[in-house]
Amino acid sequence: MFRLPRPPAELSRTEFTVMLAFVMALQALGIDAMLPALSDIARELNVADGNDRQLVVGTYLIGMGLGALVFGFLADRFGRKPVVLGGIGTYCLFDFGCIVVNDFNTLLMFRFANGMVASAGSVVANAIVRDRFEGDAMARVVSMIAVVFMIVPVMAPSIGQMILLFAGWRAIFGMMFVMGVLMFLWVLFRLPETLAPKDRQTLDVRRIARNFRLVMTNRDAFGYIFGAMLVFAGLYGYINCAEQLVGEHFGQGQRFAYVFGAMAIFMALSNFVNSRIVERFGARRVSHMALLVFVGTAGLQWLAAAWAPNNFYLFAPLMTVNLALIGFLGANSSSIALQPFRHFAGSASSLQTTVRVGGGAVLGAMIGAAYDGTARPLAMSLFFSSLLGMLLILYSERGKLFRRRKETVPQVED
């Protein structure tokens, strides 16, 4: 009988980082590779309203948030590896559905489902990291994963635009299908299971409800979960309207993929810098400083949108700074919020990701839908969401920023 080779007991740090980064990158590929194709999709599928094309991205993001609520619990019950493989396999199936669809509403249904199963990668990857690392060391590993992961937002729009030169938008989904198959095989043959059998939890409704309550009532985590949601709402709002704002309003249609990718490079660089400094300065100090600067830069973006609404060379540097600052916020906020929940990291990661991505996606869709042909709605949203996020983090930190402190770990039944 044919038997699959046994995965190694433990991967090298390099392979571990790269593998999890590309597992998570399948999710990002489904967003960024599509951006140059939105106008082609709208034209071929007879989408009348110009802003409706954003739903190709928005429904995917909302699906990601809702799917995240499920996969962490499954990973705590059945183990990390089976859930990752299941997510990638169904990701490929829904990509195939998007290839053959001929109706816009059906495409949106497949995109929503595709986003749901794509969330398995990011949720379970965070839990896998939490299985092996904790504290600032976890933040460093998450940042290194983000450095590799950010290759996708940098390159995906250009890849999508290149595919459009030789084939239609359906070929972009074909590329995503192939990438999914390759990742399925890599995980199948190389990823060891990281959840110890003794730490597996039953799918008990009372236990799940208790874990939810512990996550949502833990003051140390609350502000970071919802603060990150608000910051990511601004990011998703930008992604939703970027093709229209940058390509049409600022007249960068032919260069859109390169502009978007260039901005994403700075997100990758900031994640790399974060991975080098977070253990020295602490995740809290780094993220607090980044959020303060974010609020200030978003305020300048709002002023620029009001006083020089058509000046791309004012908009682009400020937007780039805000995107770069997210590199100091995402990994650190996630690590801080997960720290108290060692015994049910999958469940905690699910709830955290659902709030951050799902809530952020809904708010981001509203921000994108508010697009009025200028950068003003986006700039205002970036400012107010980051300001409110800062207030929530102040709540978690009891009014004091820039300090290291021990986490309060909830008592959990075995």
CA dihedral 76, 78, 82, 83 (to 10 degrees): -40
Q: Strand, coil or helix: what is 203?
A: coil
For the segment 381-387, the average pLDDT, to the nearest whole number, is 95
User: Does residue 410 have a pLDDT over 50?
Assistant: no
Kindly state the tokens that stand for 298.
Answer: 């978003």
User: Does residue 408 have a pLDDT over 60?
Assistant: no
- Please tell me the predicted confidence (pLDDT) of residue 411: 43
CA separation for the pair 373, 394 (Å, rounded): 35
Nearest to 131 by CA among 204, 51, 200, 29: 200
CA 205 from centroid of its chain's CA atoms: 28
CA separation for the pair 14, 250 (Å, rounded): 40
For the segment 6-31, the average pLDDT, to the nearest whole number, is 84
Q: Strand, coil or helix: what is 404?
A: coil
CA separation for the pair 350, 69 (Å, rounded): 5
112 vs 275, more confident = 112
Alpha-carbon radius of gyration of the chain: 20
pLDDT in tens, 157-176: 889 989 998 889 999 999 99
User: Does residue 192 have a pLDDT over 80?
Assistant: yes
User: Does residue 322 have a pLDDT over 50?
Assistant: yes
Kindly state the tokens that stand for 270.
Answer: 């900031």
User: Does residue 26 have a pLDDT over 60?
Assistant: yes
What does each C-alpha distance from 87 to 18, 67, 174, 253, 378 come to in angstroms?
18, 10, 17, 34, 33
Which of the listed ranges 81-95, 214-228, 349-363 does the model predict with the highest average pLDDT?
Answer: 81-95
Percent with pLDDT over 70 in the chain: 93
250: number of Cβ within 10 Å: 20
- Please tell me the predicted confidence (pLDDT) of residue 414: 36
Locate all alpha helices (DSSP H) within 245-282, ordered by sequence. 256-281
CB-side neighbour CA atoms (13 Å) of 23 = 34
CA dihedral 53, 380, 154, 27 (to 10 degrees): -60
- Mean pLDDT over all residues of the chain? 86
- Please tell me the predicted confidence (pLDDT) of residue 412: 44
User: Does residue 406 have a pLDDT over 60?
Assistant: no
347 vs 180, more confident = 180
| Confidence class for position 28, pLDDT limits 50, 70, 90 | confident
- Please tell me the predicted confidence (pLDDT) of residue 194: 84
Write the DSSP symbol of residue 2.
Answer: -
Residue 305 contacts residue 374 (beta carbons within 8 Å): yes
Which domains are delineated in the chain? Answer: 13-191+203-396 (1.20.1250.20)
- Please tell me the predicted confidence (pLDDT) of residue 3: 60
pLDDT in tens, 212-233: 888 888 888 899 999 999 999 9
- Please tell me the predicted confidence (pLDDT) of residue 357: 83
User: Does residue 404 have a pLDDT over 70?
Assistant: no
CA separation for the pair 209, 220 (Å, rounded): 19
pLDDT in tens, 47-64: 876 788 889 999 998 998
- Please tell me the predicted confidence (pLDDT) of residue 294: 96
User: Does residue 71 have a pLDDT over 70?
Assistant: yes
CA separation for the pair 158, 164 (Å, rounded): 10
CA separation for the pair 44, 56 (Å, rounded): 13
CA separation for the pair 20, 131 (Å, rounded): 13
- Please tell me the predicted confidence (pLDDT) of residue 95: 95
- How far the first Cα of the chain sits from its last, in Å, is 39
pTM: 0.80
387 vs 211, more confident = 387
405: number of Cβ within 10 Å: 11
User: Does residue 355 have a pLDDT over 90?
Assistant: no
For the segment 285-293, the average pLDDT, to the nearest whole number, is 93
What does each C-alpha distance from 197 to 64, 74, 126 come to in angstroms?
28, 14, 18
Nearest to 271 by CA among 361, 383, 141, 390: 141
Find where tokens 């705590």 sit: 76
Residue 395 contacts residue 219 (beta carbons within 8 Å): yes
CA separation for the pair 134, 290 (Å, rounded): 22
User: Does residue 405 have a pLDDT over 70?
Assistant: no
Count, in order, helices (H) and strands (E) of the chain.
16, 0
